[in-house]
Chains A and B, each alone.
Chain A
């Protein structure tokens, strides 16, 4: 274990960048680019450090755990920070090229970047709360950047529900702190004993995080927020911010929740996750607009993640984290593509996509490649994740989750091909189509290729998670 101070850089750089971007107003774009480069370098250094030496711990300013801010980064932190850097940088490039991106996007997104990084390297329950609130603020701003009334309503709903989730989480933190006088996760894990206080605290925290993760049946806030936000906002919301609460839940579950509480509660979360996976896919199948389809697809994909709770650590945890990574790249790519299409056709109605493929081949290639991860078909990161979850469910004798995974895959194939088949139809009419700028098409394709590459070079990231082949 080592204590390099620069680890704090993964949080500090985007945070400082966000503040400068706010001050820079309309000239925020160059600030965002510089910040992204700096934060990406810090993320790469963190990955390299952890791959070489394992877990990194650092007490900010030299204050030790109970008082100061303790940072702790393991393989999961490193991978998530890396995903934030890759998707986040691509999102900024996209925002620069996509016409009509509000200039305040950069500040809001850099704030979100800082929140995500803080969340990934936090080792205590209160710091996690602070990170979650940063994300609430950033997320609501990102949604509200759209000026239409519907988007503002969605933003209001987003912020109310996100705050409710955060408060429930905070309530649990307070209860645990009152009982055990510590907030550090590993210390809490050693201290908690099954009992009414623990049960209430854990229930409040889990429920709050489940609401923020859009776990079925608490998912209603998600589709309007994702579908109404400006294109660049939707990219980071669906790609990254949507997964943050799940990661907190994973930390909490495997480090704090007493093992005796895990089976029953885990089964409940698994059942809700499975229901969400199937219901989200069914609703995605019934949408007539591309971005709403993608948003419901996110509800479904987030549902799979919750299978980790009944399936436990080991390959299942690796599978869930891998799905977070693959889905981050793929869904961000898809929302970029949807934004480009909406810009080109003036609408994201599925019917408008007829015959569009020859005009926007790169965008359709992106949808095809990223769609592989949603369907869980090889070669894609989504397939590797599905394989790990499938193996975990069969090895532990819980074959019913395997059925959910496979059936969910069929449904996903149905909605992905609903979009892709339109590429082969002749054009509907001589509608005026503005060409998408290359700068908006290329980052989307790059992210789609990342989701594909995760399906071929799976060994290094899995090794970081301690689940290498």
Chain B
């Protein structure tokens, strides 16, 4: 295997797993689990090799002729590695979690087949080297998540699936028109550090219109208000789906795409000159506050988390839409930080549902005594979301705030403060109830020695530790923060 083909191998590792799992009969549990785990570990190893190569300046590229003006292009650059590393690590964690969570459930071949297909799509989105390839995998992600949303086959999940499709296909349509229009205006566009578009000249209005279409299309998955309506509803899906896809892969695909469009298609300077960033930042700020306000009133735990996701995602958008290197760092690094913290919370929600059938915030009084490790992990993630040091979320908010001041946008600090207060207002009650709430009757005792099955508890605790580590060791050479600083320095140029 030659190193140049690494992006293809990364893609194929989950694609092959997906096809193999679809072919398995429902009863072959051990084989299926083995394929899942081997594929996840192989991918992680491949990504590690690629990460090391890219760190040392190598670029891997796979190109296949496709249509006039655009190839199918997979390419690894620092930004794609940021997304890929996150997804590969969290895929392994979520696979272990899902194997445990779905023990004994029906239709697992179908579930894990589509699950792997989703991961393959996410890899494709991260590695896409031009807008057309990006679009291809973006739509594939929509299609492969649908069966996971409707997995349970209940009326509620089918209704959620319908809404999910309506939103995401609409977004896909807008994105397609934007991509095609930009192609017609400026030719085939490969992602280029610093921007790929030629100077606009007469085409400036087309550039602006295309940007609006692209961002609207991507904004559906990134859950920008008012395009966010699918996300809370999609929470009917099983917990691992909510965790990996609706906290990380799907929504990140949108946010990542917006970053790609701003930095590697338009170029942040051109985007700023055309006046594209400020309106987007305003939408992001609105979404941050709106999502948090919605989260306050949700009693269903997963729905509260979903509303919080709506809000947190826009930190990324806000950061990348603020013209200034420090704010960019804050936005991009949240891509990783939010992923780590939010997936922990969804794992915890899954643990509570699986072990004690708890779904509502109001039922959580005193649950910390029954499930201390789960709730400790939740507490770490919640404190991080609020932005308290030393959890990863603090680093994000620090860079966003400092970056906004640096970029001459002090109002952003106001948004951050408001949002942090709201974060505290909807997360702290959960933490308080868990540790200090009083429950009259005794909890049902655990079946084994642990508070919940090890396949569920392990990933929860490990990823929570990662979220903590990303904050504590933010200043070291191998932290996400350092990696993002490298990306931002390149995008803004010398």
A interface, CB within 8 angstroms of B: 315, 358, 372, 377-379, 383-384, 387-388, 390-391, 394-395, 402, 406, 409-410, 413, 417, 421, 424-426, 456, 458-459, 462, 467-469
Instruction: Give the 5 A-B CB pairs with smallest separation, nearest first.
Output: A394-B184, A459-B65, A378-B136, A395-B184, A390-B180
B140 sits at the interface (CB 8 A) = yes
Please determine whether B161 and A469 come into contact, CB atoms closer than 8 angstroms.
no
Bound-state CA distance A377–B71 (Å) is 17
Please determine whether A468 and B173 come into contact, CB atoms closer than 8 angstroms.
no
Bound-state CA distance A402–B170 (Å) is 14
Please determine whether A462 and B162 come into contact, CB atoms closer than 8 angstroms.
no
Chain A minimum-CB-distance residue to B174: A406
Chain B minimum-CB-distance residue to A418: B162
Collect the chain A residues with CB atoms within 8 Å of residue B135's CB: 378
Chain A minimum-CB-distance residue to B150: A424
Known A391-B184, A425-B153, A469-B68; judge A377-B170 contact (CB<8 A): no
Interchain CB contact (< 8 A) of B68 among A394, A402, A462 = A462
Collect the chain B residues with CB atoms within 8 Å of residue A469's CB: 65-71
Tell me the minimal C-beta distance from B153 to chain A in angstroms: 5
Please determine whether B66 and A459 come into contact, CB atoms closer than 8 angstroms.
yes
Known A390-B180, A410-B173; judge A468-B158 contact (CB<8 A): no
Interchain CB contact (< 8 A) of A421 among B68, B151, B158, B183 = B158
Chain A minimum-CB-distance residue to B151: A424
Please determine whether A387 and B153 come into contact, CB atoms closer than 8 angstroms.
no
Given A394-B183, A469-B71, 15 more A-B residue pairs with CB atoms under 8 Å apart are A377-B143, A378-B135, A378-B136, A383-B136, A387-B176, A388-B67, A391-B180, A391-B183, A394-B184, A395-B184, A410-B170, A421-B150, A424-B158, A458-B67, A467-B68
B486 sits at the interface (CB 8 A) = no
Bound-state CA distance A372–B140 (Å) is 10
* 24 A-B residue pairs with CB within 8 Å: A358-B107, A377-B143, A377-B172, A383-B136, A384-B66, A390-B176, A390-B180, A391-B69, A391-B183, A391-B184, A394-B180, A394-B181, A409-B173, A410-B169, A413-B169, A421-B162, A424-B150, A424-B153, A424-B158, A467-B68, A468-B65, A468-B68, A469-B68, A469-B69
Tell me the minimal C-beta distance from A236 to chain B in angstroms: 29
Tell me the minimal C-beta distance from A377 to chain B in angstroms: 5
Collect the chain B residues with CB atoms within 8 Å of residue A394's CB: 180-181, 183-184
B165 sits at the interface (CB 8 A) = yes
Collect the chain A residues with CB atoms within 8 Å of residue B184's CB: 391, 394-395
Bound-state CA distance A391–B150 (Å) is 34
Bound-state CA distance A378–B136 (Å) is 5
How many chain B residues touch A (Cβ–Cβ < 8 Å)?
Answer: 36
Collect the chain A residues with CB atoms within 8 Å of residue B173's CB: 406, 409-410
Bound-state CA distance A409–B173 (Å) is 8
Known A395-B184, A424-B158; judge A390-B68 contact (CB<8 A): no
Interchain CB contact (< 8 A) of A426 among B153, B161, B165 = B153
Collect the chain A residues with CB atoms within 8 Å of residue B78's CB: none
Please determine whether B180 and A402 come into contact, CB atoms closer than 8 angstroms.
yes
- Produce 1/0 per residue, B99-119, CB < 8 A to A: 000000001000000000000
B238 sits at the interface (CB 8 A) = no
Please determine whether A390 and B177 come into contact, CB atoms closer than 8 angstroms.
yes
Tell me the minimal C-beta distance from B64 to chain A in angstroms: 8
Known A387-B180, A394-B180, A424-B150; judge A379-B140 contact (CB<8 A): yes
Please determine whether A315 and B68 come into contact, CB atoms closer than 8 angstroms.
yes
Bound-state CA distance A206–B135 (Å) is 38
Bound-state CA distance A372–B142 (Å) is 12
CB contact list, B64-90 vs A, under 8 A: 64-72
B139 sits at the interface (CB 8 A) = yes
Chain B minimum-CB-distance residue to A386: B176
Collect the chain A residues with CB atoms within 8 Å of residue B64's CB: 459
B429 sits at the interface (CB 8 A) = no
CB contact list, B40-72 vs A, under 8 A: 64-72
Collect the chain B residues with CB atoms within 8 Å of residue A468's CB: 65, 68
Tell me the minimal C-beta distance from B28 to chain A in angstroms: 15
Chain B minimum-CB-distance residue to A462: B67
B147 sits at the interface (CB 8 A) = yes
Chain A minimum-CB-distance residue to B107: A358
Please determine whether A406 and B181 come into contact, CB atoms closer than 8 angstroms.
no
Please determine whether B180 and A413 come into contact, CB atoms closer than 8 angstroms.
no
- Of A372, A384, A387, A421, the most chain B CB neighbours within 10 A belong to A387
Tell me the minimal C-beta distance from A141 to chain B in angstroms: 39
Interchain CB contact (< 8 A) of A458 among B66, B157, B177, B181 = B66
Collect the chain A residues with CB atoms within 8 Å of residue B165's CB: 413, 417
Bound-state CA distance A384–B132 (Å) is 11
Chain B minimum-CB-distance residue to A365: B22
Bound-state CA distance A73–B95 (Å) is 54
Collect the chain B residues with CB atoms within 8 Å of residue A421's CB: 150, 158, 161-162
Collect the chain A residues with CB atoms within 8 Å of residue B170's CB: 410
Please determine whether B67 and A378 come into contact, CB atoms closer than 8 angstroms.
no
Collect the chain A residues with CB atoms within 8 Å of residue B162's CB: 417, 421
Chain B minimum-CB-distance residue to A392: B184
Bound-state CA distance A315–B151 (Å) is 40
Bound-state CA distance A125–B418 (Å) is 75
Bound-state CA distance A208–B70 (Å) is 38
CB contact list, B141-173 vs A, under 8 A: 143, 146-147, 150-151, 153, 157-158, 161-162, 165, 169-170, 172-173
Bound-state CA distance A296–B376 (Å) is 57
Collect the chain A residues with CB atoms within 8 Å of residue B66's CB: 384, 458-459, 469
- Produce 1/0 per residue, B127-142, CB < 8 A to A: 0000010011001100
- Of A462, A468, A469, the most chain B CB neighbours within 10 A belong to A469
Collect the chain A residues with CB atoms within 8 Å of residue B153's CB: 424-426
Known A387-B180, A410-B169; judge A378-B140 contact (CB<8 A): yes
Collect the chain A residues with CB atoms within 8 Å of residue B158's CB: 421, 424-425
Bound-state CA distance A372–B158 (Å) is 20
Bound-state CA distance A467–B161 (Å) is 39
Bound-state CA distance A372–B144 (Å) is 12
Collect the chain A residues with CB atoms within 8 Å of residue B180's CB: 387, 390-391, 394, 402
- Of B69, B170, B172, the most chain A CB neighbours within 10 A belong to B172
Collect the chain B residues with CB atoms within 8 Å of residue A384's CB: 66-67
Chain A minimum-CB-distance residue to B132: A387
Please determine whether A406 and B183 come into contact, CB atoms closer than 8 angstroms.
no
